[in-house]
Chain A
Amino acid sequence: MSTQNLHMYRRPEALLNVRTHYCAGCGHGIIHKLFAEALGELNIREETIVVAPVGCSVLLYNYINVDGLEAAHGRTPAVATGVKRAQPNRIVVSYQGDGDLLAIGTGETLHAANRGENITVIFVNNANYGMTGGQMAPTTLVDQRTLTSPKGRNPQETGYPIRACELLSTLEAPAYIERVSLHNPGAVKKTKKAIVKALQYQKEGRGYSFVEILSMCPTNWGIEPAAGADWIKTSMVPWFPHKVFRDRPAEAAAAGGKAS
Chain B
Amino acid sequence: MKQGIPEIDKERCKGCGLCIANCPKNILEMANDINSFGAYYTICSDESQCIACGACSLMCPDAAIEIILKREVG
Contacts and interface: CB of A to CB of B under 8 A. Distances in A.
A1 B72 contact: yes
B54 A5 contact: no
Interface of B: 4-5, 11-12, 14-18, 20-22, 37, 39, 52-55, 57-63, 65-74
A8 B67 contact: yes
Contacts of B68: 5-8
Question: Which DSSP category, helix, strand, loop or mixed, fits chain B's interface?
Answer: mixed
Contacts of A4: 70-73
Interface of A: 1-12, 15, 19-20, 22-30, 33, 184-185, 188-189, 218, 224-226, 229
A4 B70 CA distance: 6
Contact of A10 (B12, B15, B66): B66
Nearest to B65: A9
A2 B74 contact: yes
A6 B57 CA distance: 15
The 8 closest A-B pairs by CB, nearest first: A29-B61, A25-B16, A226-B21, A24-B16, A24-B14, A185-B55, A225-B16, A8-B69
B66 A225 contact: no
Nearest to B64: A11
Given A25-B17, A185-B54, A6 B61 contact: no
Nearest to A215: B61
Contacts of B54: 8-9, 185
A224 B17 contact: yes
Given A3-B72, A188-B58, A11 B66 contact: yes
